[in-house]
């Protein structure tokens, strides 16, 4: 059976990490990995997470299975975090399940959509997170794209986006990034969210919102503006959220899939159809990450501490945007990179060529994907001069 297999290319980002680790350049910089790092280049365990883990270690009494939906307390707390005091929560129209990270939530959402409508396609932004197409294709959905980022002008192509989405058939799904668009960093403003919500309602396509970076743009509630407005406007939608970034729980693989129905009775039917999808995938979600999150969100003290730590991460990434632009100017770069400061979250496109990207890797030990997408979280005061000087040389 296995003798016919051919070697497959490595994932572009994961493959970069392997090359980076093997590089002996003492000044090397990994701008490819989408993971938060502090100024020392370390991905820390948050203090509030350590406190919650200590509490769990001292109080956990069983390693028995939970259930396919996951921890009821986690599901309640993450729904409140994502939606706030929203009418869909008050009307009991949301059903949330725990999932193995945001990726697991997206896969469950994809298979759930296919079980509801085998002919449905899902539309994703061009560009989008590199794994979106693979996850949804593996779930059996046809994946189509709509314009999103204007590479030439380094801005959002909202006109192209709106024009394309007006052609989406009723019954198809449209994936939207809640905030911190990966990979462009270009987010929708409130007026644009309003137009999209009205379009979804009028056409009848299903909004699927991916919120992997809540709290990394402007704040927890601010970053949830679009999804809450969408929930105000349409009767049905799906939210896939992740605790990897804002809680720093990358290894614990905990996220959530929340489905909104038109009524409480409809939501009950949705739940009955959603859980069998989970059962044949991973059967039961992992419990440890969910326990950490629910412990933090159940404690006023730990929640306050988390808010402080989350703000520190958000502010550091934002300051690195400005620092990079200023340092490029200080190193004689005349090309305008000010667009970087108008973006949100961890990512941006530098807008340089594949050849220049390769030169940065080969000559300077600076690693990024061919599209020139970089993670701002990898930049620090200690490496920004070397980075800017290297970019200046390849330009």
Active-site amino acid positions = 129, 210, 245
What gap in Å lies between CA 36 and CA 106, rounded to an integer? Answer: 21
300-330 helix and 384-394 helix, angle to the nearest 10 degrees: 40
Q: Is the peptide bond before 305 cis (omega within 30 degrees of 0)?
A: no
Q: How far is CA 72 from CA 81, 91, 98, 114, in A?
A: 14, 18, 9, 26
Q: Is 375 helix (H, G, I), strand (E, B) or coil?
A: strand
Closest CA relative to residue 244, chosen from 129, 127, 137? 129
CA 270 to chain CA centroid, Å, is: 24
**30-53: b (≥16 Cβ within 10 Å) or e:** bbbbbbbbeeeeeeeebebbebbb
Is residue 224 a contact partner of residue 82, using CB atoms and an 8 Å limit? yes
Is residue 196 a contact partner of residue 361, using CB atoms and an 8 Å limit? no
Can you read off the two tokens belonging to residue 331?
Answer: 């190193």
Can you read off the two tokens belonging to residue 184?
Answer: 């462009």
Is residue 267 a contact partner of residue 93, using CB atoms and an 8 Å limit? yes
Q: Which residues pair with 348 in a beta bridge?
A: 374
Query: Is 307 buried (19+), middle (13-18) or exposed (0-12) by CB count in 10 A?
Result: middle
What is the 3-state composition of the chain as percent helix, strand, coil, each rounded to the nearest 5? 50, 15, 40
């Amino acid at each position: 059976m296995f003798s016919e297999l051919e070697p497959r290319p490595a994932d572009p980002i994961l493959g970069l990490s392997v090359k980076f680790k093997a590089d002996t350049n003492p000044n090397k910089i990994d701008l490819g990995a989408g993971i938060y790092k502090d100024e020392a280049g370390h991905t820390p365990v948050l203090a509030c997470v350590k406190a919650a883990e200590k509490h769990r270690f001292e109080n956990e009494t069983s390693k028995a299975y939970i259930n396919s939906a996951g921890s009821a307390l986690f599901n309640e707390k993450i729904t409140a975090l994502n939606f706030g005091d929203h009418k869909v929560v008050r009307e009991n129209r949301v059903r949330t399940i725990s999932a193995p990270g945001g990726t697991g939530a997206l896969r469950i959402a994809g298979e759930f959509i296919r079980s509801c409508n085998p002919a449905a396609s899902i539309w994703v932004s061009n560009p989008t997170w590199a794994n979106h197409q693979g996850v949804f294709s593996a779930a059996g959905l046809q994946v189509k794209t709509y314009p999103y980022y204007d590479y030439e002008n380094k801005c959002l192509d909202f006109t192209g986006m709106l024009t394309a989405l007006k052609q989406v058939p009723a019954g198809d799904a449209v994936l939207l990034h809640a905030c911190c668009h990966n990979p462009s960093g270009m987010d929708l403003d409130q007026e644009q969210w309003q137009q999209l919500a009205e379009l979804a309602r009028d056409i009848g396509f299903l909004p699927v919102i991916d919120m992997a970076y809540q709290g990394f743009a402007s704040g927890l509630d601010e970053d949830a503006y679009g999804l809450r407005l969408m929930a105000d406007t349409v009767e049905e939608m799906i939210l896939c959220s992740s605790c990897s970034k804002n809680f720093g729980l990358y290894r614990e693989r905990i996220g959530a899939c929340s489905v909104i129905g038109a009524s409480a009775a409809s939501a009950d039917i949705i739940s009955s159809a959603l859980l069998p999808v989970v059962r044949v995938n991973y059967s039961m979600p992992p419990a440890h990450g969910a326990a950490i999150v629910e412990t933090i969100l159940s404690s006023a003290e730990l929640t306050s501490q988390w808010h402080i730590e989350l703000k520190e991460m958000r502010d550091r990434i934002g300051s690195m945007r400005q620092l990079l632009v200023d340092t490029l100017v200080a190193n004689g770069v005349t090309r305008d990179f000010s667009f970087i400061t108008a973006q949100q979250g961890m990512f941006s496109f530098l807008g340089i060529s594949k050849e220049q990207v390769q030169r940065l890797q080969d000559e300077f030990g600076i690693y990024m994907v061919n599209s020139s997408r970089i993670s701002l979280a990898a930049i620090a005061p200690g490496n920004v001069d070397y980075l800017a000087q290297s970019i200046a040389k390849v330009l």
